[in-house]
Every structure is written in C-alpha cells, then in structure tokens.
Chain A
Amino acid sequence: MKICISSTGSSMDSTLDPRFGRAVYFIIADTETMEYESIENTAALSGGGAGVTSGQLMADKGVSAVITGSVGPNAMNVLKAAEIDVYRGLPTTVKENIAKFKEGSLEKIDSPGPSHSGMGGQR
C-alpha cells in the first residue's frame, strides 16, 4: 500500500511535519517493501492554495493514505474527493509513524483543522 507522510526532512528518520499543505517534505512509502521516495514540497512557500496543490500531488501519486498533523479545509476537500484517508501522525520519525500505521494504532482524521495552520511552523 502506498502512503504519504508529511516530513520535516527527506529520510525515514526525519521527524513528522505536523503541517500538511506546508510540510517541508513528503515521504511517499510502500508499506510492504518500505521503499520510499522523498519529494520536496514546492507548495510550502506559495502565497495561497498550498493545501490544494499538496492534495493534488497526493492524488497524482496515487497514495491511499496520508499521515500528518492537521489538514486544512481545502486540502481535506481534495483528499476526500480523491478518497485518500488521513491519519493523525505522532511527533516522531517517519519510520515509526509507518510502523504505527501498519499496527492500525493511528487515529483517522475526518474533519479539517483550521486552514492556514501550517503557515509558518508550529511548536
């Protein structure tokens, strides 16, 4: 299964980025083989619509689930339309989040957080 984790860095050992649309990197991983691709999020610095573009990217990449902190309303609309599930990740490494996801212990997010929540970093 192909999933995407919003990440602060480009490797499996990087920490989860709690922002979706404005995450620094996206790690797209295959949960069976653990092969992964890291994509720098060019939308992170766009003036507006980062969530829309990031959602579009997920759909284009054909991922089935996204692990992140919070997803704004626009991104949520795109992800829902693409039938991509969203899970609330833990403030730990990408690798660990994938393990927790496989265990089924991550909480599914159904409603969006405040929009723009990722603009400019959190905690």
Chain B
Amino acid sequence: MRIAVLSGKGGTGKTTVSASLALSLGNYQYVDSDVEEPNGGIFLNPKITDILPVNVKVPAVDENKCTGCGICSKTCQFNAIAVIKGMVLLFSEICHHCGACIIACPEVALYEIEKTIGVIEKNEDATFMQGKLNIGEPISIPIIQKLKDEMNPHIPIIIDCPPGASCNVVESIEGCDYCILVTEPTPFGLHDLKIAVKLVEKMGIPFGVVINKSSKDSKIIHKFCDKNKIDILLEIPFSRDIAEAYSKGRLPVHENAEWKEKFRAMYEKIKRGVNK
C-alpha cells in the first residue's frame, strides 16, 4: 500500500499528516519526496546511516573526434551547449540529461559522464528516506525516481510530496494506491485543494481530504467536498497548543494517544476503500 500526501501549496500541514500517520502505524516506510525542502525528519528524528548519491548523465566531449560542427548545440533544447571556434562548451548546470546531443553528434564525439545532483538519505532499517537536491540544480525528478526505486513494497509507504501540482508531484504520486489531500479552511486553501483534486483525478488515483486548522466557523471545505462527493478523512482543529507544539517538532500524536487512534482509523478506512 502506497499512500501519497499532497496539497496544492506548502504549509498546509502535509508533513504533519504524513509524519502523524507514520507514527500511528508503527510499521511503515516514510518517504520525503519534497527534495527542495525535506522536513519530515524533524518529527521522526531518524538517525541517518546511509547516504546514496543521485547521479545523472551529462555529456562530455572527446576533442580528438569533435569537428566543431555545432550540431549538438543546435539539438540541445535547453541551451546547455555552445560551440565556439570549433570548441564545444558544455554547461552541465543547465543540462536536462536527455541524451539528445549524444544521439545527434555525427562524429560520435560526445559521451556521458556521471554528475551528482543530490542525495538520498536513509536510516538503518530504511523506515525513513528523504531526498535532497543540491542548491542550484534545476531538476529534482531523478532524485524522486531514485526514492521510488528504493521503496520497500512489503510495508505501508507514506510519501510526503512536494507542494504544488508540478511534475515533481506527478512523479511522486505516480504508482500510488491512494492520495491524501491536505487543506485548510480558507479561500486560499480551497483554491489550492481544487487544483490538487484536478491533478489526482487526471491521474486516476483515489483520494480523500484532511482538513488541517479546521474551525467551527468555516465550512468552506465541507461545502466543496459535499458537493463533489469527496471523503473528508480527518479534521485537525486550529489551536494554539497544536501550533506551539509543532514549532517544537511535536505532533498531536506525540502529545495525545487519541490522535494515534484517529490516524490509525483513517488508515484502515483508506485500506478498506482501496481493496474494495
């Protein structure tokens, strides 16, 4: 069972929900695929023992073979190659590692070398994994793919996704059995929820909603979910206590066993729904 936790934007409580769910289950693999800002470790306190580099292939030139024809430069859709005075200049920071230049070179003068763009970190029993993108690198997908390759299919997997609805989210949720969409009851939250709903519907993944910072005053999310027949899985109330505890790296499940029960019940509900 692979569950992805996502939200239209950051800061809605994605990590709160994923980490709480993980802690409530006991047996789990938690995967933080928000490689630009991995945060889950703060609540789960894993001891990182394994660090695997994530490499991509970037071109290099064999100057003995290169004739300086410039075809590679014209082929590259990402402007990562210039050919000046018969010399190939390669800019690996802009490179998308697609390999088109290698195919295009008529002299077979380009070959590929490995370049590290980030890492995957794991704790000893791999119940925790996170990806980290190096600063200045433009593309996170290879790191997310590597995380997926390293997942343990035998236990429940909880993926804490990057915010938004970009290709990084698409990559993270692809292959998941269920998506939990986290939102908050404000016009901003609703707007972002609608985007997340469209995305998971487009990808054909079953989903439900968790309302974070919920209050009695605002039923804006309930109305939307009722109208569109979307399951509301859980509500986490807006309270200063929870916000304060959060700022210290404590989750509601740390403070109160009742919350563990609620998250476990949510998991069972999801599991029943998926197996049906």
Do the two chains touch directly in the complex (Cβ atoms below 8 Å apart)?
yes
A6-58 residues with Cβ-Cβ distance < 8 A to B are: 43, 46-50, 52-53, 55-56
Given contacts A48-B94, A56-B73, contact A81 B89 (CB under 8 A): yes
A-B pairs with beta carbons under 8 Å apart, 26 shown: A47-B78, A48-B78, A48-B94, A49-B78, A49-B79, A49-B91, A52-B80, A52-B81, A52-B82, A52-B91, A52-B94, A53-B82, A55-B82, A55-B84, A56-B73, A56-B84, A59-B85, A74-B93, A74-B94, A77-B89, A77-B91, A78-B82, A81-B84, A81-B87, A81-B89, A83-B85
Known: A43-B79, A78-B84. 8 other contacts (CB 8 A): A48-B79, A48-B138, A49-B94, A52-B91, A53-B79, A59-B85, A74-B94, A82-B84
Q: Could you say which of B78, B82, B93, B138 contacts A56, with CB atoms under 8 Å apart?
A: B82
Residues of B within 8 A of A48 (CB): 78-80, 94, 138
A74-119 residues with Cβ-Cβ distance < 8 A to B are: 74, 77-78, 81-83
Q: Could you say which of A46, A81, A82, A83 contacts B79, with CB atoms under 8 Å apart?
A: A46
B242 at the binding interface (Cβ < 8 Å) = no
How far apart are A79's CB and chain B's nearest CB, in angstroms? 9
Q: Which residues of A are in contact with B by a Cβ distance under 8 Å? A: 43, 46-50, 52-53, 55-56, 59, 74, 77-78, 81-83
Q: Could you say which of A49, A77, A82, A83 contacts B80, with CB atoms under 8 Å apart?
A: A49
A43 to B78 Cα, complex, angstroms: 10
A73 to B12 Cα, complex, angstroms: 38
Q: Which residues of B are in contact with A by a Cβ distance under 8 Å? A: 73, 78-85, 87, 89, 91, 93-94, 138
Please classify the interface of chain A as helix (H, G, I), strand (E, B), loop, or mixed, using the class held by over half of its residues: helix
Residues of B within 8 A of A59 (CB): 82, 84-85
Residues of A within 8 A of B89 (CB): 52, 77-78, 81
A59 to B138 Cα, complex, angstroms: 27
How far apart are A85's CB and chain B's nearest CB, in angstroms? 14
A48 to B91 Cα, complex, angstroms: 11
Chain A residue at minimum C-beta to C-beta distance from B96: A48
A52 to B85 Cα, complex, angstroms: 14
Residues of A within 8 A of B94 (CB): 48-49, 52, 74
